[in-house]
Structure 1
């Protein structure tokens, strides 16, 4: 029986401090508010920042205006999955590379602290960012969601959040073939930024450089972020036992993308970065998780492209035929119409081992020429010559017989596979559709674009084989045949408005050998479309080099060059046969001489 009642004492209300640092607030952890750096930020090795404490505001009554985030904002940005890897190895070479690189470059004068020096970058409307949305990524991961204000978990600075927005919603879509279930750069690389400032700074550098080339200013220059990424990478190397292997590879490969985009003079930094990546992969091999597999696929692509661009041997060994399987985005269905398409190589996955062997042939040819010039032993010269000729024949046979593995139930247009386009149809398609991406990333037009990209690689590889390796004349029927077919496929890739991120090398190789007015017109229109779509410096530089190659080759043939009307030059070429600048090895690599004269060293990625 209840005899009496007693009022319970009121519970002491929980009071939360509002003066914690930004990182602890985001993590919803108690901050010890130590100045200038709290213990949690010191433990994680991140920058500790405090925001001004705002006065409390009374809650609005029901019926007052809402300030909720507009519907659709949160779902508009695909989020990333968190994947971790094992620690990586290092070497004295790596320490020397990233301790000394760019040490003398002038850093951005922007102050690292304070908000007064930060410029807000608006969303790019003038450059049509929707052109980059080749494949929307509706899937969201529950592991790493983006919260308002947009991208605030990456930085409290508005301009840096804008750079991350540009990377996620424009740039990352321009450099992949396949993303029907998400963009691999967002799924696999972006989560690494939570623990790695070099990866974050490399992303900022890449996005900022892309915007700068498009004419969008930012007070924190791309060079500033680049230097921060390189210095952070050096610190990671010094503490290699505590660092994720994938963080190192991601930072290096992002710096490769940056160097390819900005094209600073005759620099060999790309080769240095690739050597660093190879050192990491060889020093600490491990079972391949999706992040490692994706980063190693990016390394394979640039290892071969850099070798073809620089005339050097690739760093890695050629993969065995059939060992490269298409790398899909995370969560891609097994029955996808894009199941035979690689994220970074498109339909050229089975072609890549052949191109890898081709990229090593120029170094073998140079070795043979040095042996002949040095009057080495006849046996040595015979062995080198036999190896060179047999390997060249094998590569030519493999390229001639190669066919892409088409997705199931996909039947290509007959005119596309036979290259029976008329010039008027192709150029009309380029002009009509170069600014309109394929609306359906799994649709027939999108897949056709990827198919034509792979066929362009095949024919440009044959151009490179006949012209650079076999030293045949520009007028040789095989050179002109495959140059024309490659340009037709490049134009068809543009016409179908699919991915164009890997089109520059086959387009450039074929364009340099173009002689007829029709082929040169195709090359010019394809270059214009790709540059407008991708917005990268190496595309414009490559077009300048190709036109200078035409001018010098035409002058050497004995007639003045004119663009695009080259009727008299075409007639002269048809009747000239071999002669002038077209004689053998003397102009086989004319474009390399033009590059040296211009003071540039382009990697055609």
Structure 2
């Protein structure tokens, strides 16, 4: 038996998943590394792996295949290549990489060569000789990797940067197996080996990598941890705290070697920063990392992306929200600061301590509100959103004067994708206001400001799915706004968006989030929500404060936290 509780020779899944004990020293502060989030350094561009067709028969897909492929259409309605096609013949030649822009469903395969520089038949045999495992690599390349990024006009970063690590690191490959298998299992497709088995193999391998403590293993360790975070978010096993445990492990590794020197490190740290904030907002705690300084989060492009691109201002993982992310980061810290103030009041702390905490909370809240009011997405050159595409006329902005003249006009498909990404960013902005007013200020659900931003956020969520662009990062703004929806129109927008996101992404946390939203609506309609645990007077009035132990997340408006506790689930909205 290993230190992680599982025998490395086991070939069958254990009854429960292993809990990871990274055995790291206390988590250091990442403030000294906050300026390392600049544009990536050039590295050799690994080509994608995504063969034109699968060369092996996948196990028992049934109707799931049709559901996975039904959105794979190009702009004129004709079908592109289907991602799950079974063949028994071998491929003898590989066509050159095509440069067409991926369809908005982002699951149409590209005919390109392997990232490991060699091509074997059958496809993906350089990873494993087992057909069922090759099917998992195929699913990761042709389905999953496309569902969790905003930008990949010259390649998918998970294929370019993460997949090549499997040559040196079996834990990375096992984590890929676990993630792909879990995604298929949720869709009703059973592999010969369960996702939990691969998960435990990845955990054990991760422990061995950590024990080696070699600087050369940094990217392998971070990649394994981040893939395991994606796995935990997808699986959503009850009120698990494994996501936080993995994030702490990743932070420690990053702080041990704080200067990323290659694109892989920067990409993995960007993924950590995204999930660090999303997990903080989901769990009602402060982020583990220090807030990035303004302007240091430059858009991270795929390798080989041209400078003059219609997607030049789009980040791979954050979309058009790179300049918004430092504000969201500080917003997620407010609930902890508010809880500290409540605890000081209820414990009869000194007046000076209470005054200091109150002043800090008020000043930080005001600064964040002002920053959210001023913020607008940075539009790529050559792209101007349609004025009729949103009720927010003031949010249709024109490119800034300093943008280059030799721009490339986006194609029809690119414009639709850009509209979707633009709406996604604005949904984050409006839901950030909802979170600020409900969870921090404690305004009642019926408050005009709450309902105004709820409505606008849901409009943008609905527009995001209408344009059929990336939906991997939409769950948090959609959930926050949906919980506060009152009228039939807003609830209809929420239901429409949830259905399309669930169908596209196929992940358990989306289904769980929708269950929580419907229960929140039921209780709110039945009057069970009351006045938000006595918080309608806001954080500035002592008589409106709840007890420090009775308000997880520190927000009287967070009825959904109570609902999720009672349902026995803990959803990470990423």
Alignment partner, residue 223 of structure 1: 196
Which of these two proteins has the greater Rg computed from alpha carbons? 1
Match of 2:213 in 1: 240
Unaligned runs of 5+ in 1: 1-45, 48-89, 97-117, 421-438, 559-575
Is 1:255 aligned to 2:228, yes or no?
A: yes
Q: Say if 2:431 is the partner of 1:493.
A: no
Q: 2:277 aligns with which of 280, 293, 304?
A: 304
Change (3 A) 1:248 1:533: same
1:514 maps to 2:485:
yes
Residue in 2 that maps onto 1:347 = 320
Structure 1 residues 384 and 137, CA, compared in 2 at 3 Å: closer, same or farther?
farther
Deviation at 1:542, TM superposition (A): 0.2
Counterpart of 1:127 in structure 2 is 67
Q: Report the Cα offset of residue 353 of structure 1.
A: 0.2
- For residues 374 and 242 of structure 1, the distance between their equivalents in structure 2, rounded to whole angstroms, comes to 46
Where does residue 557 of structure 2 map in the other structure? 588
1:156 positional shift: 0.3
> Cα–Cα, structure 1 residues 91 and 154, in superposed 2: closer, same or farther, change >3 Å?
closer
Q: Shift of residue 375 of structure 1? A: 1.0
Distance change >3 Å, CA 321–CA 376, structure 1 → 2: same
Q: C-alpha displacement at 1:581, in angstroms? A: 8.7
The residue number in structure 2 matching 1:411 is 384
What does residue range 476-491 of structure 1 map to in structure 2 within 5 Å? 476-491=447-462
State the partner residue of 1:29.
Answer: none
Structure-2 change in CA distance of 1:472 and 1:494 (3 Å): same
1:143/1:211 Cα in 2 relative to 1: closer, same or farther (>3 Å)? Answer: closer
Partner of 2:24: 93
Partner of 1:467: 438
Judge conservation of contact 1:202–1:254 (CA < 8 Å) in 2. yes
Q: Secondary structure at the match of 1:389?
A: helix
Q: Deviations 1:189-239 (Å, cap 9, x if unpaired)?
A: 000001101000000000000000000011200000000000110111111
Indicate the SS of the match to 1:127: helix
Residues in 2 aligned to 1:235 and 1:345: alpha-carbon distance in whole angstroms: 32
Matched position secondary structure for 2:180: helix
How big is the shift at 1:127? 2.1
Does structure 2 conserve the Cα–Cα contact (< 8 Å) formed by 1:368 and 1:381?
A: yes
User: For residues 176 and 546 of structure 1, do their structure 2 counterparts lie closer, same or farther at Cα, with a shift above 3 Å needed?
Assistant: same
Measured in 2, the distance between the counterparts of 1:444 and 1:357 equals 32
2:140 counterpart of 1:167: yes
| Cα 1:579–1:260 shift into 2, 3 Å | closer
Residue pair 2:391, 2:456 contacting (<8 A) in 1 also: no
Query: What are the equivalent positions in structure 2 for 1:355-374 lying under 5 Å apart?
Result: 355-374=328-347
- Which structure is richer in relative contact order (CA contacts within 8 A, separation 6 or more)? 2
Q: Is the alpha carbon distance of 1:331 and 1:293 closer, same or farther for their aligned partners in structure 2, counting shifts above 3 Å?
A: same
* 2:168 aligns with one of 189, 195, 209: 195
Q: Who is 1:282 aligned against?
A: 255
Change (3 A) 1:348 1:579: closer
Q: Identify if the C-alpha distance between structure 1 residues 163 and 388 changes in structure 2 by more than 3 Å, giving closer, same or farther.
A: same
What is the CA-CA distance between 1:144 and the residue it aligns to? 2.2
Counterpart check, 1:180 vs 2:118:
no
Change (3 A) 1:594 1:604: same
1:437-452 equivalence runs, <5 A? 443-452=414-423
Give 5+ residue unaligned stretches, structure 2. 1-7, 10-20, 28-55, 73-104, 394-409, 539-545, 547-555
Whether the 8 Å CA contact 2:116–2:167 is kept in 1: the answer is no
2:108 and 2:142 in contact (8 A); partners too: no
TM-score, normalised by the number of residues in structure 1: 0.72
> TM-score w.r.t. structure 2 length?
0.76
Change (3 A) 1:287 1:297: closer
The alignment covers a number of residue pairs equal to 461
Among 382, 387, 390, the residue aligned to 2:360: 387
Q: Tell me if the contact between 1:174 and 1:501 (Cα under 8 Å) persists in the aligned partners.
A: yes
Q: Which one is further off, 195-204 or 134-143?
A: 134-143
Where do 1:11-50 residues align within 5 Å?
A: none
Shift of residue 388 of structure 1? 0.2
Is the alpha carbon distance of 1:405 and 1:203 closer, same or farther for their aligned partners in structure 2, counting shifts above 3 Å? same
Cα distance in 2 between the residues matched to 1:532 and 1:171:
13
Deviation at residue 416 of structure 1 after TM alignment? 2.6
Identify which range, 247-256 or 585-594, moves more after superposition. Answer: 585-594
**Alpha-carbon shift at residue 582 of structure 1 (Å):** 8.6
Q: 4+ residue stretches of structure 1 with deviation over 4 A?
A: 134-143, 439-442, 578-587
